[in-house]
Structure 1
Amino acid sequence: MMHAKSAVFSIDEHKDRFARARAALKAAKLDACLMVAPENVYYVGGYETWVGVNSPQFLIFTAKEDAPTLILRNVDLALARETTWVGDIRTYHLHTDSVPDLVTKVLKEKGLIRGRLGIEFQSYALPHGMALTLKEALPGFDFADATDLFGDLRLVKSAAEIDMLRAAGKFAQIGLTAAKRTLKAGISEIELAAEIEGAMRRAGSDYWAIPTELASGWRSAGGHAAPRPKAIEPGDLVHVEFAGVSNRYHATALQTLGVGTPSKRATDLYDVALLSLKAGLAATKVGARVDAIEEASLEPLRKEGLEHAAMMRFGYGLGIAYPPIWLETLQISRGFDRVLEPGMVFVLHSCLELPDEELGVVQGGTYLLKEDGLEMLAGAGDIDLIRV
């Protein structure tokens, strides 16, 4: 293994990750993997780049003791050498070289002409067209979805990863401070977003995987709204959701703020959202089932007849991310039976939307689960409504 100039983690940490990835292959009875998701390639191979969104890249290794092979576009070779520990790097020229043929060649070199291959079917880095051409080029192989297999490797964070997430959280808190300092009636949503983003970037934040989400007043029922030229008005509720980022590790900040004096209906909705958030937080502990946590968060809403307004999952895992998403495979939601473990990091939030009333609230933050409870890394958390 080589140590690249811009490598973020130690060789020993990467050895451990690679060994766990190979063990996961064996446990799933897979002969090899074609790892395509940038967050997984970075986690296992150390290769840090966003370009998998438009140029196919693969980290290939088998369940045996072979060294991994990294396939990427030739123009990105210098980027790979900055960060990856992988020594065997193969390149192709976009539009003139056949990527499936190169994948086939590498697998043959590793002694495979048939078998079961794991690949992340649910990754945006595997376009449908590429999947079809791979299937055609590799007729002797069966393909299995390895999205959860590899994504689950990243759920419990190491000490070094937690350091990255705490740094990301500091960037996010700088953004929240800028939001509260800047927010006032008369400015536009875009102006507010610019202050948030500029403050984080000046502090040293890496770029984020999802655009800043920000909505005010009659737009507040849009839980994932992008900021618009709309002017913020007296009495508006304004909610923001964005991430600070350190070496691709994300910590998401969420908060709803009031401008002046919001309506009683708006403040009442916020208070119910706060009760929901507190109930979910109280249920979040080591050994808790994720579905039970969401059920706890819904109890205060049922009492107020507002369960229908909770359209989002209560939480989701967070860590390494590239555009266009920052969610990990952990879902804190009904329909899942996973049990929480120490070292997991996740967003927990109350998100209530009343589209017919043009009113919405989003409140919460990013949390690290420890043996003795939750540590909030970013966000406003379970506090009373702040009016500016």
Structure 2
Amino acid sequence: MSRHDFTAAEFEARRARLRSAMAAHGLDWLVCFHPVSIHWLTGAEAKSYQEFQCLLFPAEDDAIVVLTREGERNEFVDDARVDRLETWGGPEPEDPIERFAGLAADLGLGSARVGMEVPAYYLHPHHYARLREVLGPALVEEPSALVHDLKLVKSPTELGYIRKAAALADIGIEALRRALRPGQSELALAGAIIGATMAAGSGIPASPINLVTGRRTAYSHGAPTNRILQPGDFGNVEFGTTSHRYTATIGRQFALGQPTPRMLELYGVVREAADAMIATIRAGVPAVLPHEAAKAVIAKAGLDRGRVHTSGYGLAPGFPPTWGEPLHMFGGSKYVLEAGMVVTVEPPVFLGDEGLGARLIDNVLVTDSGAEVLARSGRDLIVVA
């Protein structure tokens, strides 16, 4: 898998687009740390993002260099399109920044114009401070979204993987329906979903499943626990499925027994808000407009205090702890939607004082004429009698 998931021509096209973007920024080199950037450019899937790792990408059509820990050498050799592989560590400790400094000197970065990604999660602050010292005045920009922005519009092959992931998410919802009953624990319910999706071919998603019931439905990202489901419970689940690391997410609301009027009200508001977003999404629309459509619905219902989360975001191939892209449908977003983007739709209402919350999550493909919902699972409130 990995480098074999795409043709050599597709990788070369990605690299050519990045070189053009670097030329527009006046960069000679880009140092990438985000594992999604490295994956998109090389196909690498190794867990080396847990330690120091980077890709040094030249503006000229020259060798692409990866520096990673020695323990990942074999996986990179087999699975990644890398021209030059350098490693640090091994049987004894080694300072990766000293190794980077020697490599930077060898490549001539000190006399070049260098850009460097500074992503959340994947670059230790102490390493960042030392890298700035190593690069000195050669470091002229920190364009952390440069690669991510190039990959927001998905290729036909990428869309094929995302559609497969969405079909796997539907399998997870069916497993939820079969397993949902009083007396079941949240963990057992989560296990039924995860087991069904992985047995059907899903990879391990970048972010753990969220599953909450009872008063815990007020938690926007609550993990499943040993809590036993009771008659009358309201509940919410969100999980991801993957195909070749390309992610689909889905979220559904459920009730054990007849839902109360307030439960029905919250579910109705988030569904109306999601529908308003979907009706707004199409190519050429500023990303903030679907958010504003959802916000208006929730505010009209008097529930804006419970809107504690983004209305939606772009979906990427995922590496822990996230599958999200920089594109957000949220206040202040500068992005414009384009055909071929895949975004989540998930406007929420979470009310801590009431111990209740509701959120539907769907993925949609942006098209020139509108939005295509990728999952086929019904969006109705799931009620177990």
User: Aligned with 1:7: secondary structure?
Assistant: helix
- 1:53-64 equivalent positions in 2, closer than 5 A: 53=50, 55-64=51-60
- Structure 1 residue 89 displacement after superposition: 0.7
- Structure 1 residue 5 displacement after superposition: 8.3
Q: Deviations over 1:208-262 (max 9, x none)?
A: 1111000011100101000011111111111110011111110001111111112
Partner of 2:215: 218
- Structure 1 residue 77 displacement after superposition: 0.8
User: Aligned with 1:220: secondary structure?
Assistant: helix
- Structure 1 residue 20 displacement after superposition: 1.2
* Compared CA separation, residues 85 and 241, structure 1 to 2 (3 A): same
Partner of 1:250: 247
- Aligned residues of 1:118 and 1:145 also touching (Cα < 8 A): yes
Matches of 1:310 and 1:368, distance apart in 2: 24
- Structure 1 residue 180 displacement after superposition: 1.1
Partner of 1:170: 167
- 1:108-187 equivalent positions in 2, closer than 5 A: 108-142=105-139, 144-187=141-184
Matched letter for residue 73 of structure 1: R
User: Aligned with 1:302: secondary structure?
Assistant: helix
* Compared CA separation, residues 379 and 240, structure 1 to 2 (3 A): farther
Partner of 1:359: 356
Matches of 1:140 and 1:290, distance apart in 2: 36
- Aligned residues of 2:214 and 2:235 also touching (Cα < 8 A): yes
Q: 61, 65, 76: which one pairs with 1:69?
A: 65
- Structure 1 residue 87 displacement after superposition: 2.2
- Aligned residues of 1:92 and 1:98 also touching (Cα < 8 A): yes
The answer as to 2:292 corresponding to 1:331 is no
- Structure 1 residue 133 displacement after superposition: 2.1
Matched letter for residue 217 of structure 1: G
- 1:288-299 equivalent positions in 2, closer than 5 A: 288-299=285-296
Matches of 1:174 and 1:380, distance apart in 2: 9
Matches of 1:119 and 1:81, distance apart in 2: 25
What percent identity do the matched residue pairs reach?
Answer: 32
User: Aligned with 2:194: secondary structure?
Assistant: helix
Matches of 2:327 and 2:297, distance apart in 1: 24
Q: 254, 276, 280: which one pairs with 1:279?
A: 276
- Aligned residues of 2:238 and 2:361 also touching (Cα < 8 A): no
Matches of 2:359 and 2:260, distance apart in 1: 17
Partner of 2:267: 270
Matched letter for residue 47 of structure 2: W
Q: Deviations over 1:71-120 (max 9, x none)?
A: 11111111112221112111111563332233233333333323442222
- Aligned residues of 2:183 and 2:230 also touching (Cα < 8 A): yes
Matched length = 383
Matches of 1:72 and 1:96, distance apart in 2: 13
Matches of 1:316 and 1:25, distance apart in 2: 25
**Structure 1 runs not aligned, ≥5 long:** none
- Structure 1 residue 41 displacement after superposition: 0.1
**Structure 2 runs not aligned, ≥5 long:** none
Matches of 2:105 and 2:376, distance apart in 1: 49
Q: Deviations over 1:156-193 (max 9, x none)?
A: 00000001101111111111110111111111110100
Matches of 2:96 and 2:348, distance apart in 1: 43
- Aligned residues of 1:21 and 1:44 also touching (Cα < 8 A): no
Matched letter for residue 6 of structure 2: F
RMSD between aligned residues? 1.7
Runs of 4+ in 1 over 6 A off after TM superposition: none
Matches of 2:377 and 2:294, distance apart in 1: 17
Q: 7, 28, 31: which one pairs with 1:34?
A: 31
User: Aligned with 1:257: secondary structure?
Assistant: strand
Q: Deviations over 1:271-328 (max 9, x none)?
A: 1111111111111111111111111112222222112211111110002110011111
- Aligned residues of 1:277 and 1:349 also touching (Cα < 8 A): yes
- Structure 1 residue 143 displacement after superposition: 5.1
Q: 102, 105, 109: which one pairs with 2:102?
A: 105
Matches of 2:198 and 2:67, distance apart in 1: 31
User: Aligned with 1:190: secondary structure?
Assistant: helix
Matches of 2:110 and 2:240, distance apart in 1: 43
Matches of 2:230 and 2:2, distance apart in 1: 50
- Which sits farther off after the overlay, 223-232 or 84-93? 84-93
Matches of 1:233 and 1:144, distance apart in 2: 55
TM-score scaled by structure 2?
0.95
Q: Deviations over 1:47-75 (max 9, x none)?
A: 1122212x211110222232111111111
Partner of 1:90: 86
- Which sits farther off after the overlay, 26-35 or 100-109? 100-109
- Aligned residues of 1:50 and 1:323 also touching (Cα < 8 A): no
- Structure 1 residue 373 displacement after superposition: 2.5
Q: Deviations over 1:21-51 (max 9, x none)?
A: 1222221222211111111100012211222
* Compared CA separation, residues 142 and 5, structure 1 to 2 (3 A): closer
Matches of 1:115 and 1:69, distance apart in 2: 16
Matches of 1:73 and 1:251, distance apart in 2: 30
